Amino acid sequence: MATEQHSDAGVPDWWRGLGLPGLIDLHVHFLPERMERRVWHHFAHGGPLMGDGWKIQYEWPVEERLARLRAMGVRRFPALAYAHKPDMAADLNAWTMEFARRTPECLPSATFYPEPGVVGYVRRALEEGAKIFKMHLQVGGFDPRAPELDEVWGLLAESGVPVVVHASAVPVPGGYVGAEPIGQVLRGHPRLRAVIAHLGMPEYDPFFELAARYERVALDTTMTFTDFAEAGMPFPARLRPALRDLGLAGKVVLGSDFPTIPHAYAHQLDALARLDLGDEWLRSVCWRNGAAMI
């Protein structure tokens, strides 16, 4: 791709040049319209959970967003939603599962919150074919070690379904973030297929340690290495060999945060390519590892 930070037109040529059939992006968001508008408002105006916020690149109607993903060749993606208070998750799951039913490329996805009934609706989502879950410890502000969630973690570990976990202090500190809370969950459920969002940015080191320690723990690339991220939360050069090894071992997957990003989608791919970790690494991260996980 001829460094198209301001255009996505070159994305198909980029993945074809790697010999791939497209892209698998495991960190994409679609939400019910009213909720989407509220989220976008927070990103645009900033606040206690956002810091200064940023201008969203793809603040478009849903069909236009889907058309862009299809035009770029993103073959599989979820509609990640996350609950931040009680009595939200079950309704969100009904919406995301229905969205996936009418969107062929979309993975059925679900979320959960520590509350009465959580085991029942997580089990129901699994029975209905959920392929990926999402939890956001910074926005949700809850402890992943909450007793209501212990059986949920067991169910998910047994199923092998991945859980994308936002567990780091990005964009701002808050909630039960850091490697220790989710690390304690993993000590109790070492077979859990946790996918650490944003490579754990900015606390890269301890999350890389979790990925190295636990067979099924992986990291997603969401927003990492982009000009935006490198300006404030640069990736440490000392971890580049570990990043390469983890990617080739199936433990790094492509994530973008589309549509709620301050740059073109193409720039995320440019940012990965300029790491110069090799075409095999890019093939693994942008397709093979995600395909194996879902």
pLDDT per residue, tens digit, the chain (294 aa), is 434 445 899 999 999 999 999 999 999 999 999 888 887 877 776 655 545 677 889 999 999 999 999 999 999 999 999 998 999 999 999 999 999 999 999 999 999 999 999 999 999 999 999 999 999 998 888 999 999 999 999 999 999 999 999 998 876 666 788 999 999 999 999 999 999 999 999 999 999 999 999 999 999 999 999 999 999 999 999 999 999 999 999 999 999 999 999 999 999 999 999 999 999 999 999 999 999 999
Q: At what angle do helices 204-213 and 179-188 cross, to 10 degrees?
A: 10
Distance CA 249, CA 73 (A): 24
The two three-digit tokens of residue 40, written as one number: 């976008």
Is the Cβ–Cβ distance between 6 and 55 less than 8 Å? no
Output 148-151 pairs: Cβ under 8 A, ≥24 positions apart.
148/114, 148/115, 148/116, 148/118, 148/119, 149/112, 149/114, 149/118, 149/185, 150/188, 151/119
What pLDDT, on a 0 to 100 scale, did the predictor assign at position 52?
65
Q: At what angle do helices 89-101 and 118-127 cross, to 10 degrees?
A: 10
90-45-28-199 Cα dihedral, nearest 10 degrees: -110
Distance CA 207, CA 168 (A): 9
Is the Cβ–Cβ distance between 79 and 133 less than 8 Å? no
What pLDDT, on a 0 to 100 scale, did the predictor assign at position 159?
98
What pLDDT, on a 0 to 100 scale, did the predictor assign at position 55?
85
Distance CA 127, CA 76 (A): 20
What pLDDT, on a 0 to 100 scale, did the predictor assign at position 2?
38
Q: Which amino acid is at 69?
A: L
Our measurement of the distance from residue 31's CA atom to the centroid of its chain's CA atoms, rounded to an integer in Å, reads 14
What pLDDT, on a 0 to 100 scale, did the predictor assign at position 48?
53
What pLDDT, on a 0 to 100 scale, did the predictor assign at position 204?
97
Distance CA 284, CA 290 (A): 8
What pLDDT, on a 0 to 100 scale, did the predictor assign at position 1?
41
SS3 annotation, the chain:
CCCCCCCCCCHHHHHHHCCCCCEECCCECCCCHHHHHHHHHHHHHCECCCECCCCCCCCCCHHHHHHHHHHHCEEEEECCCCCCCCCCHHHHHHHHHHHHHCCCCEECEEECCCCCCHHHHHHHHHHCCCCEEEEEHHHHCCCCCCHHHHHHHHHHHHHCCCEEEECCCCCCCCCCCCHHHHHHHHHHCCCCCEEEHHHHCCCHHHHHHHHHHCCCCEEECCCCCCHHHHHHCCCCHHHHHHHHHHHHCCCEECCCCECCCCCCHHHHHHHHHCCCCCHHHHHHHHHHHHHHHC
What pLDDT, on a 0 to 100 scale, did the predictor assign at position 170?
74
The two three-digit tokens of residue 293, written as one number: 């996980």
Distance CA 97, CA 125 (A): 8
